[in-house]
Amino acid sequence: MKPQVEIDLLIEFGAFFKEYEIGETIFCEDDLARFYYQIVEGGVKMININEDGKEYIQGYFCEGQSFGEPPLIIEEKYPATAVALKKTKIIKISKINFFSLLEQFPVIQSDFLKLLARRIYNKANTSKDIINQKPEFRIIAFLDTCKTRQEKEQIKYTRQEIANFTGLRVETVIRALSKMKQKKKVEIINHKIYY
Amino acid sequence: MKPQVEIDLLIEFGAFFKEYEIGETIFCEDDLARFYYQIVEGGVKMININEDGKEYIQGYFCEGQSFGEPPLIIEEKYPATAVALKKTKIIKISKINFFSLLEQFPVIQSDFLKLLARRIYNKANTSKDIINQKPEFRIIAFLDTCKTRQEKEQIKYTRQEIANFTGLRVETVIRALSKMKQKKKVEIINHKIYY
DNA sequence: CGGTTCCTTGAGGATGATCAACGAGGGTGG
DNA sequence: CCACCCTCGTTGATCATCCTCAAGGAACCG
C-alpha cells in the first residue's frame, strides 16, 4: 500500500524508526500528542477501555497508514490508546518537523485534508449506525465497512473484535450472527463468516 | 463569533446567500455534496433519522461555523441531513470555487485542517463516551461538551435534545437526571438543568 | 385562555448483559 | 506423537436495564 508520506521525505525531516512487539503500547489515552506516526510494517489498533475493562475499538490501521494525527494538529491529548496488533515497525517525526513538512509541501497538506475529511465521514457513518440500531444492524454496518470488494468474502475479524467494534458483547454477536445465518444475510462455514 | 472564512472573501469567490425557515432542510442524507456552507445568522443541526423515526443528532452548528465540508472535500454523499434550527441565513459557494479558494490561500487550507482535526477529536471522544457507558455517563459526557465555562451554568437543551444526542429515550434521560440530582451531580431548578 | 411543546410518572415487556460451563482447533514442547 | 494450553466459539439460564406505551401535568406563547 502506498504510504501516506514517502519514507525518504520523512527521513529528510528527521524521522526515526521504532519497532513494537505484539500487544505493545505506542501511546496512551491522555498522553499529549508529540509525534507523527506512520506504519512501515505491521498494524495498529486505537482503543478505549472503560472502567469495566470493556474495550472499544476506534479503528484499525495498517501498513502505509498514519494514525494519531488529529490531536497532534490541534495540540491536544490522545483520546485513545494505540496498540500494536503484531510485530510492527513505525516511522515517527516530531511535531515541529511535521508542521514544517506540511508548510513546505502544500500537496501533502492537501492530502491530509482529504485524509481527515474521510475519517470524519467514516466516523459519522459508524456512529449513526451504532447509536440507534439493533445488534443485527450494527453488525451489518460493521461488515459493510470491512468489505473491500463486491463479491462475498471472508471476514477476517474474530467475534470478539466485532463485539469491540460494535459495542456489543461476544455472546450477543454470536447469537445475532446465527440469526443472520438463518435469514441468509451471512454465510457461516466452519465458524468462518462470509459476507 | 469569528466566521470560518471571511464573508467578503467568499463573495469574491462567487458566494451567494440563502435564507431558511425554522425546520427547513438545507441538504439531505445521501445527497451528493456540491457546495460549501457557512452560517451567517442562525443555527443548524446535522441529524440522522432511523427507520423507527428516532433522531440522532450528529452535531449543532452556529453563527460563523461551516458544516458539511468533509463529504465535499472527498466528493462523497452526505452522511446526514442538515436542518435549520431557527430562521437562518447561509452563505454558500460551489465545490469548484471552494477548491480554488483552498488552493490560493494556504492559510485557509491550514485552518480547515485544524478544524477537521478538532472535529475528529470531538467525535472520537463522544463515540467512546456513548458506546460503552450507562445513561448517566452518556449524559455527563454530553453536558461536559456543552459547558463553555468553568462555573455552573444552565444547560440550554431540552431533555428530548439530550436524548437525541446521547441515543437514549426522553424518559430515560429524565429518570437519569433525577438520580443525578439526588447525587448532587446536577441541579434542577424549575425544570431547568444547571451543571 | 387555548394550544403547543416540554416534562414527568408508572407499569410492563423486550432485550442485551452477565455468569458459568463446555467444545473445537491450533500450536508447542516433552 | 501426544498431552497440554490457549484462544476462540457456543449455549443456556438468569438478571438488570432501558424501551415502550399511556396518561397527565407544567410552562410558555400568541
DSSP three-state, residue A55: strand
Distance from CA of B134 to the nearest CA of A (A): 11
Q: At residue B145, does pLDDT exceed 90?
A: no
**% of residues, chain A, pLDDT over 70:** 100
Measured CA to CA, the distance from residue B119 to residue A76 in angstroms comes to 12
Best residue of B103, B132, B134, B142 to probe chain A, by most A CBs closer than 10 Å: B132
A55, closest residue in chain B (CA to CA): B132
Q: What is the pLDDT of residue A53?
A: 84
Q: What is the pLDDT of residue B24?
A: 92
Cross-strand partners of A89: A19, A41
Helix-then-strand count for chain A, H and E: 7, 10
pTM: 0.93
Measured CA to CA, the distance from residue B63 to residue B90 in angstroms comes to 9
Distance from CA of A167 to the nearest CA of B (A): 6
Best residue of B46, B121, B162 to probe chain A, by most A CBs closer than 10 Å: B121
Among A191, A184, A178, A190, residue whose Cα is nearest residue A152: A184
| Cα→Cα distances B41→B3, B89, B116, Å | 11, 5, 22
Q: What is the pLDDT of residues B78-115, one digit of tens each?
A: 999 999 998 999 999 999 999 999 999 999 999 999 99
Beta strands in B63-151 (DSSP E): 66-67, 81-84, 88-94
Measured CA to CA, the distance from residue A27 to residue A34 in angstroms comes to 10
- pLDDT-derived band at B139 (thresholds 50, 70, 90) equals very high
Q: What is the pLDDT of residue B151?
A: 84
Q: What is the pLDDT of residue B2?
A: 86
Q: What is the pLDDT of residue B186?
A: 93
Cell numbers 459557494 correspond to B93
Of all nucleotides, the one whose C1′ comes closest to residue B175's CA is C8
B67 in Cβ contact with B39 (< 8 Å): yes
- What is the mean pLDDT of the segment spanning B131-158? 88
- What is the mean pLDDT of the segment spanning A62-83? 96
Cβ of A124 and B123 within 8 Å? yes
Mean model confidence pLDDT for chain B:
94
Q: What is the pLDDT of residue A151?
A: 83
Cβ of B124 and A58 within 8 Å? yes
- pLDDT-derived band at A84 (thresholds 50, 70, 90) equals very high
Measured CA to CA, the distance from residue A85 to residue B31 in angstroms comes to 37
Q: What is the pLDDT of residue A31?
A: 97
- pLDDT-derived band at B131 (thresholds 50, 70, 90) equals confident
Residues of B near A (Cβ–Cβ under 8 Å) read: 48, 50, 52, 54, 56, 58, 69-74, 76, 79-80, 102, 106, 109-110, 112-114, 116-121, 123-128, 130-133, 167
- pLDDT-derived band at B160 (thresholds 50, 70, 90) equals very high
Residue type, A101: L
- pLDDT-derived band at A110 (thresholds 50, 70, 90) equals very high
Cβ of B167 and A132 within 8 Å? yes
Among B112, B2, B119, B18, residue whose Cα is nearest residue B60: B119
Q: What is the pLDDT of residue B148?
A: 74
Q: What is the pLDDT of residues B35-85, one digit of tens each?
A: 999 999 999 999 999 888 889 999 999 999 999 999 999 999 999 999 999
Cβ of B120 and A123 within 8 Å? yes
C-alpha cell at A153: 468474502
Cβ of A131 and B58 within 8 Å? no
What's B79's DSSP letter?
S
Among A162, A166, A126, residue whose Cα is nearest residue B120: A126
Q: What is the pLDDT of residues A38-72, one digit of tens each?
A: 999 999 999 999 888 889 999 999 999 999 999 99
